[in-house]
Chain A
């Protein structure tokens, strides 16, 4: 009902600020698309628009994009619309800078080399994580939209997109394409999107091929779903496609509900939903007992419950129900009764998209206010009340459902929609936001997997297929090219998962690259293959100590003793569960007495004393072992770290310097240097060291966070954005060592 009114313009759903009888959503969309006529002017306004050549690279084989804008494509704005121009004027005047910024950002390609014509090997692997590749690619897609130049399919390296990612990209790109090219033919749109998708190797069989009637194809599509129409060709929403694929024999959308109900009971999906929520809550370590989100969840649960109660098929099939159920479906599969792990993509994006479509979500709530004759007004009012309370509960919803820890992306979108800032910059912002989102997702995925000890392989690995990756990895390690050696070693362990040396070296490389999570994951694999390897056990002890996992660290250090050929006898075998620190320390001291010249015993003792924070003893132990092994760079770093943690920062810096003299590419030592300066309040210095560490390993997340803190402590808020966008070039220029 209400949706239709939104589309066709009905009195009940007048969007404030527009005349009641017009199509409010049409106005919005026209404004977005109709602004294409303003595009040319805007582009002229921006001084850099015609002069940079880097953009030329983004266009596969075409000339300067803006020169190619004769304006022919923009001569036919969709519909002259007074509201559109009003809207746009507001947009233009308010937002000159933002658009310019977006352009600037595009002009400064995040990957130094281009996509498109250039070959894959140009992309530097150290600094070109797949999401960057993807983001540049998406940017260029966006640009092709601006220039109305056909986007050629290019072959991109395997980006390792998951199914969820692909679906997400597929859905979003088709919707965005429709926005950009709405004044073009359907074929053009399809070609563009197909080009994008085939480059990304996304299956687009599920994309619709039929002509989309009306000016607002996606909206009508959604609307049609809600009316219970056949799911056939309206497949832009991947959910629908999946659904239709799964329900081949049922053409009746009710069947889904019914079959679900059969499986799970009438309240099944509401309970699944709740279950899922609690699952999310338990999986998500960051939430704990989260009162405000619990409140939101409680609301949504009640909501879901209420909806499940209503047997009116129209209600059941309504957009809202599907939206809500998709949230749960996005996390689970219907067939199994099992809760699957959340995929990266679907729920949040879809929800955010939904919001975007509905101008910030006001409308569907209104829709429901209107629809709620038979049902208690209770939850609607509650919901509306909560919305007022929170400004936008939709945002919270998105947060809850999407499991994104910081869903700035969706919030930003709401923000932008609310401020009417969509339009030409929407595409760029979308691509940028998508970058951030992908970055975040990869980081989250890595964090969540690594924290469970699962090793996360890099996506783009040129060493796969190398005849002897282990040797290559060792060579690269020796040369100090840590990130490269990681890749080679990954290729090795992919080939030979039982190669303990491969895993061990991989772990060491990660630790030196300042990534304890991956180091632990790799070392655990090494330990599985070779449980008695002392170096592995020590490394595990060290990494766990760094991560403040004290019990685990103690266990590994004790294992070291037990498996040692010489000292194994002094350690009773069955004590692993009841390890008391004091006992372990005593045993080590006994071992040291047995062989005072064994540097390793002293090293382990040093780590042990770090655990108990008896720093003086730890320092002594390390110094003893350094006398025996003075060229062990990792030992110097251990000494330095111990000194730093006992606030002897000046001494620490000297020790780190020794380590760096021995191994100049020792990322961890560089980062530790930064920490020691920062802890002394010397923030400007610390920034330089962090930047140096990051230039060697841009994936060192800790260092990024510390850099940010130092920047704000040094009152360099101007560089915060560069930090947030991980713009190393800029930071390096600004803060050289």
Chain B
């Protein structure tokens, strides 16, 4: 249910979750096959973070930290920045260079994290 403290990124994550069940989503799972953890902070990276696991091995999106081992790469964003990267407004490389995106884990895994993974929201 929506309440006032909800992150914008949550909407995107939910859409991603639904997307995983589609053909396109399954293609992505086949193509990438990695597990990402994404930590989203409302205003400042590292503070009040909410974690999401985008499991592109199983094709699942869950809230909370990854429990089945170590994710291939972990990203940290602010809410707005994640929305920008997922929608293609901000290039991930640029985001990284500017510190808007923090990465932990395998760099090659991180490089596969591109805007095209995420479905785009449609506008009413």
Contacts and interface: CB of A to CB of B under 8 A. Distances in A.
Nearest to B14: A613
Contacts of B88: 705-706, 708-709
B105 interface: no
Given A288-B45, A548-B83, A681-B27, A293 B124 contact: no
Interface in A636-673: 637-638, 640-642, 644-647, 649, 652, 668, 671-672
Given A287-B98, A291-B99, A641-B123, A581 B27 contact: no
Nearest to A682: B24
B100 interface: yes
Interface residues of B, number: 47
A550 interface: yes
A676 B22 CA distance: 12
Contacts of B119: 647, 679
Interface string A679-690: 111000000000
B89 interface: yes
Contacts of B18: 646-647
Given A613-B11, A647-B21, A672-B122, A292 B116 contact: no
Interface string B1-39: 111101010011011001101111001000000000000
Contact of A516 (B87, B100, B123): B123
B72 interface: no
Contacts of B80: 285-286
Interface in B48-73: none
A294 B90 CA distance: 20
A384 to B, nearest CB: 21
A550 B23 contact: no
Interface string A605-629: 0010011110000000000000000
A286 B123 contact: no
Query: Among the interface residues A289, A554, A581, which one has the most CB atoms of the partner chain B within 10 A?
Result: A289
A612 B124 contact: no
B24 A681 contact: yes
Interface size class of A (residues with CB under 8 A): 35 or more
B74 interface: no
Given A611-B2, A680-B23, A712-B116, A640 B100 contact: no
Contacts of A712: 116
A672 B119 CA distance: 12
B122 A675 contact: yes
B44 interface: yes
Interface string A543-554: 001111111001
Query: Among the interface residues A516, A542, A550, A642, which one has the most CB atoms of the partner chain B within 10 A?
Result: A550
A290 B2 contact: no
Contacts of B104: none
Contact of B87 (A554, A680, A705, A713): A705
Contacts of A713: 116
A706 B120 contact: yes
B122 A647 contact: no
A287 B24 contact: no
Nearest to A608: B2
Given A287-B100, A290-B100, A647-B19, A705 B78 contact: no
B45 to A, nearest CB: 5
Contacts of B116: 709, 712-713
Interface in A98-144: none
Interface string B75-93: 0011011011001111100
Contact of B81 (A288, A547, A582, A672): A288
A158 to B, nearest CB: 30
Contacts of A288: 41, 43-45, 77-78, 81, 99-100
A279 to B, nearest CB: 16
B24 A679 contact: yes
Contacts of A287: 98-100
A548 B8 contact: yes
Query: Among the interface residues A405, A546, A579, A645, which one has the most CB atoms of the partner chain B within 10 A?
Result: A645
A368 interface: no
B122 A645 contact: yes
B45 A645 contact: no
Given A286-B84, A542-B124, A581-B3, A709 B98 contact: no
A637 B123 CA distance: 8
B123 A546 contact: yes
Query: Among the interface residues B11, B46, B83, which one has the most CB atoms of the partner chain A within 10 A?
Result: B11
A678 interface: yes
B123 A671 contact: yes
A291 B97 CA distance: 10
Query: Among the interface residues B18, B21, B41, B123, which one has the most CB atoms of the partner chain A within 10 A?
Result: B123
A97 interface: no
B87 to A, nearest CB: 6
Contacts of B78: 285, 288
Contacts of A212: none
A702 B18 CA distance: 22
A531 B8 CA distance: 27
B34 to A, nearest CB: 18
A486 B78 CA distance: 34
B1 to A, nearest CB: 5
A706 B121 CA distance: 11
Interface string A276-317: 000000000111111111100000000000000000000000
Nearest to A582: B1
Contact of B120 (A638, A668, A675): A675
A686 B82 CA distance: 23
A290 B44 CA distance: 9
B94 interface: yes
A406 interface: yes
Interface in A332-354: none
Contact of B100 (A286, A637, A645, A708): A286
Contacts of A545: 124
Contact of B124 (A579, A610, A647): A610
Contacts of A681: 23-24, 27
24 contacts: A286-B90, A286-B98, A286-B100, A287-B98, A287-B99, A287-B100, A288-B77, A289-B45, A399-B98, A405-B98, A548-B8, A548-B11, A550-B4, A582-B1, A612-B1, A613-B2, A641-B124, A642-B124, A645-B121, A647-B18, A647-B19, A647-B21, A706-B87, A708-B88
Given A289-B44, A579-B4, 4 more contacts: A545-B124, A647-B18, A679-B24, A701-B89
Interface of A: 285-294, 399, 405-406, 514, 516, 542, 545-551, 554, 579-582, 607, 610-613, 637-638, 640-642, 644-647, 649, 652, 668, 671-672, 675-676, 678-681, 701-702, 705-706, 708-709, 712-713
